[in-house]
């Protein structure tokens, strides 16, 4: 019995060791997001609550905690309440297989990339549940848009990932990182990195693809009827997903925790630090896109995904496979 509790305590400890930093990071990147927009648009951004406005996200969280939660009388109350819980939970459990360093991961499973796809694909259910259960036209339209958008761009992301897997021969995220010791995949697969980055924007409903919550058309989309902590849980799930896509981009194309500078003193920096810096770099690009690029129309969004990204990624997949086969570079699959 004691041994069982020791094992249970160890697992709970590892989970908290991951979730607490992730939730803290979500709060801090919201601050960073606002500061980047302000810099681009020559505004000050958060600068009052705490030094440099660092406590603004904490103040917002406290505000959400004390705001009244209003549930529409005509809504399906059970599903209405479950929707933000599902969204936030799925966004957080995906981090269980993300390696911050060699042997520095909660669960180093052999099919880590499939686990990420499975969990991220389920994330759309929270949005659909919230939009449908609200029993209002604007939230429902926003949730339907989100479903179509996420399905469309997951196809392109899946084909992009296959390009990487052909070069690695394994579905394990640690193996994908270790395969980039000689050269990061962003160099031979640069077009795939660009498409992955743009598809990640669409997958996470970030501008210029934030059509499920477009204020000018749908008031606030699937979040229209939500308030208080239930709204904040959607917000937490959205930013946790953004960080997850940045982490995936780092693992697939930027060498994960591998250092880009193999000489003193850079080779002494802990590997998780490099991984976090790469995630922050990709998030900075996410923030810059939001500040610079205008919103797409929905037909343009669908055209980009189905008529441009999908055919191009398929052609690149054939080119990658042909090149690896012709030069006998196909890796032997790891068991």
pLDDT at 332: 65
How many residues comprise the chain?
335
pLDDT at 198: 92
- d(CA 287, CA 75) in angstroms, rounded, equals 34
What is the number of structural domains in the chain? 1
- d(CA 272, CA 275) in angstroms, rounded, equals 5
Residue 54: in which H helix or E strand, if any? none
Residue 334 lies in a domain: no
Backbone φ and ψ of 235, nearest 5°: -65, -45
- Residues 6 or more apart in contact with residue 127 via CB below 8 angstroms: 83, 87, 142, 143, 146, 147, 212, 222
Low-confidence stretches of the chain (pLDDT < 70) are: 1-14, 215-216, 332-335
pLDDT at 197: 94
pLDDT at 312: 94
pLDDT at 61: 84
Residue 319 lies in a domain: yes
pLDDT at 56: 87
Q: Look up the pTM and report it.
A: 0.89
Domain residues for the domain of 292 are 67-326
- d(CA 309, CA 200) in angstroms, rounded, equals 12
Residue 55 lies in a domain: no
34 CB neighbour count, 10 Å cutoff: 18
pLDDT at 249: 93
Residue 39 lies in a domain: no
- d(CA 177, CA 198) in angstroms, rounded, equals 22
pLDDT at 261: 78
pLDDT at 335: 41
Residue 76 lies in a domain: yes
Task: From 37, 129, 120, 124, select the one nearest 79 (Cα to Cα).
Answer: 129
Residue 164: in which H helix or E strand, if any? helix 137-168
Report residue 5 CA to chain centroid gap: 33
pLDDT tens per residue across span 301-311: 889 989 999 99
């Amino acid at each position: 019995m004691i041994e069982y509790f020791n094992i249970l305590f160890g697992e709970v400890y590892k989970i908290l060791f991951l979730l607490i930093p992730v939730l803290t990071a979500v709060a801090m990147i919201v601050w960073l997001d606002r500061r980047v927009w302000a810099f681009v648009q020559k505004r000050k951004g958060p600068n009052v609550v705490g030094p440099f406005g660092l406590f603004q996200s904490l103040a917002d969280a406290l505000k959400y905690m004390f705001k009244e939660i209003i549930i529409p009388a005509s809504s399906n109350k059970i599903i209405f309440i479950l929707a933000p819980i599902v969204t936030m939970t799925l966004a957080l459990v995906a981090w269980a297989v993300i390696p911050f360093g060699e042997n520095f991961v909660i669960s180093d499973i052999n099919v880590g990339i499939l686990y990420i796809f499975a969990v991220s694909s389920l994330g759309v259910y929270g949005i659909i549940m919230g939009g449908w259960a609200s029993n209002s036209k604007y939230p429902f339209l926003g949730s339907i848009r989100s479903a179509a958008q996420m399905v469309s761009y997951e196809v392109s992301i899946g084909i992009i990932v296959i390009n990487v897997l052909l070069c690695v021969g394994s579905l394990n995220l640690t193996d994908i990182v270790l395969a980039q010791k000689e050269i990061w995949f962003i160099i031979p697969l640069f077009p795939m990195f660009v498409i992955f980055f743009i598809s990640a924007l669409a997958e996470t409903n970030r501008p210029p693809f934030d059509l499920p919550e477009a204020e000018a058309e749908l008031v606030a989309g699937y979040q229209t009827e939500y308030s208080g902590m239930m709204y904040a849980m959607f917000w937490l799930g959205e930013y946790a997903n953004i960080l997850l896509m940045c982490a995936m981009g780092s693992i697939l194309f930027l060498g994960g925790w591998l250092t880009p500078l193999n000489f003193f003193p850079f080779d002494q920096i802990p590997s998780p630090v490099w991984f976090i810096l790469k995630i922050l770099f990709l998030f900075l690009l996410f923030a810059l896109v939001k500040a610079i690029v205008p919103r797409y129309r929905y037909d343009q969004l669908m055209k980009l995904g189905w008529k441009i990204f999908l055919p191009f990624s398929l052609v690149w997949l054939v080119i990658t496979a042909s090149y690896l086969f012709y030069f006998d570079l196909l890796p032997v699959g790891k068991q």
